[in-house]
Amino acid sequence: MTEPVPPAVELRIYQEFSEIRTLVQSEADHLTLHFPATTWEAIDTRSITLIGLPYTSKTVMARESWLTSFEGRQIGLRTDSGAEDVTLIRAEDLVVQNAAGAYFHARQENLLLPEAPPPQGQRGVVTLTFALPAAGQGVLTYQTGSLTWSAHYRLDIDAQGGGVLRADATLHNRGDLPLEPEAVTLVAGEVRRRREYNLPTFLSHMARNEPRRVTPSWQDDSDSTPEVAGLYRYQLRNPPRLERAADVTVPFDDVPLTQTRLTNTLYRHMDFTGDSGGAFQRHYRLVTPRPLLAATVTLRDQGYLVGQQAIQETAAGQEVSLTLGQDPNVTYRREVTQLSSTEHAQTTQGRVTDMQEDLQRYWVVYQIRNAGTRHVEYEVTEATRYLTIRSVTGAVKHTPGAVTFSGTVAPTTVTTVEFEVVIEND
């Protein structure tokens, strides 16, 4: 059976870091790779390894100049009479040697290089060298904090209250190198890891060597199951090119909705100081068969932007409630009438000093008006703060700390809800 060949560049992008996996080939007993200084600063050096290609040690060497990779190589030098071939002896101060064997300092703007200078300029270069027992092919993998992603949902609600939920992913490349991956997997969920901070950059000729005796083998990870140990994976079918220091946004998921509900809600504290009124808040409640990520949701009602709201990570099948703002078409008027009150006397040394109210009975009337053109579902909650509900009579539900009721109002009509409540001051 033929083993699967890994992609040339594979990105596994988490929300706080990424794992970069690159196919590498060595024809000799060593493998040498060069990293720009700013790229190296974001890499977790402990994570660097070769998969499928055994190695005996890895050596890290940092130099101040990106021209270090040209040391010992022949390059061109522009002169007053034209150009000549020289050998770069030392990149740090641009010492070169000409064909006659003479050494001298060159100016950088006069160098004629066989390769384009890197975009990060002269901030330095890191050389990573693996010592190999034999030539071969493998996957270089490492973790970096310069590449992350974040999710954003778009919820479009139609006139009947139905909805469509779409997810976008924004890939943030803060590195100095563009990336052109063949495979990209977005990973969401909590990953705990210890970060090793790199040594101060580019002390001249800094070197480090780490011996290693064992190397893991590469395994195909193309399992279509979206969940791995609490992590959620999303594969991008057509990975985009990630330019350096750029954000790229791509759609990555159309989320099916198994249940949607548009409800007008009112939440207020119970009081009996007088009559009051106001408008209801609109809430859109949805349930999906898939988990939702912690993200911002942009809400549109019939094409119009009505707001944005942040949601937390939500399990599959769990209801999510999104606030759409105040609805001026659905208003209420609340009237209160005190029916009775009982008191007891407070005494001090046998003398009455005050009369303390024990129980109060009130009649509460809600008039809920729908001035719109569609049926409206409503929910009302009255919560107590310094009161205890002793009894409630009417078409409402109650607990010791709240009264709730719900219903439907037809277009351009008013519905009335009445209840009697007996409360005790705490």
- Each residue's pLDDT, cut to its tens digit, for the chain (426 residues) gives 445 556 778 999 998 999 999 999 998 899 988 888 788 889 999 999 999 999 999 999 887 677 877 889 999 999 988 999 999 999 888 999 999 999 999 998 899 988 877 655 556 778 899 999 999 999 999 999 999 999 999 999 887 778 889 999 999 999 888 899 999 999 988 777 665 545 444 433 444 444 443 333 333 333 444 456 678 888 888 899 999 889 999 998 888 888 888 899 999 999 998 999 999 999 999 999 988 999 999 999 888 898 899 999 998 899 999 988 899 999 999 999 999 988 755 656 666 566 566 789 999 999 999 999 989 999 999 998 888 888 999 999 998 889 999 999 999 999 999 999 999 876
One domain for residues 14 and 135: yes
One domain for residues 417 and 272: yes
One domain for residues 350 and 417: yes
> Does residue 213 fall inside a structural domain?
yes
Contacting residues for 42 by C-beta, under 8 A, at least 6 apart? 144, 145, 146, 174, 175
Cα(207)–Cα(203) distance, rounded to whole angstroms? Answer: 9
Instruction: Decide if 8 contacts 182 (C-beta within 8 A).
Output: yes
Nearest CA to 13 among 169, 215, 194?
169
In the chain, the number of structural domains is: 2
In the prediction, which pLDDT does 36 show? 80
One domain for residues 194 and 267: no
> Does residue 317 fall inside a structural domain?
no
One domain for residues 211 and 281: no
Contacting residues for 348 by C-beta, under 8 A, at least 6 apart? none
245 backbone φψ class: left, alpha, beta (φ>0; ψ -120 to 50):
left
One domain for residues 272 and 245: no
Print burial letters for 172-200: b (CB count within 10 Å at least 16), e (below 16).
Answer: bbbbbbebebebbbbbbbeeeeeeeeeee
> Does residue 170 fall inside a structural domain?
no
> Does residue 92 fall inside a structural domain?
no
Looking at 191, 226, 250, which one is the last position of a domain?
Answer: 250
One domain for residues 220 and 145: yes
> Does residue 16 fall inside a structural domain?
yes
One domain for residues 349 and 391: yes
Cα(23)–Cα(27) distance, rounded to whole angstroms? Answer: 14
Residue 359: domain span: 259-289+327-425
In the prediction, which pLDDT does 385 show? 81
**Torsions phi, psi of 328, nearest 5?**
-70, -15
One domain for residues 21 and 138: yes
One domain for residues 240 and 284: no
pTM recorded for the entire structure: 0.69
> Does residue 412 fall inside a structural domain?
yes
One domain for residues 135 and 203: yes
One domain for residues 26 and 148: yes
Contacting residues for 238 by C-beta, under 8 A, at least 6 apart? none
Looking at 188, 221, 250, which one is the last position of a domain?
Answer: 250
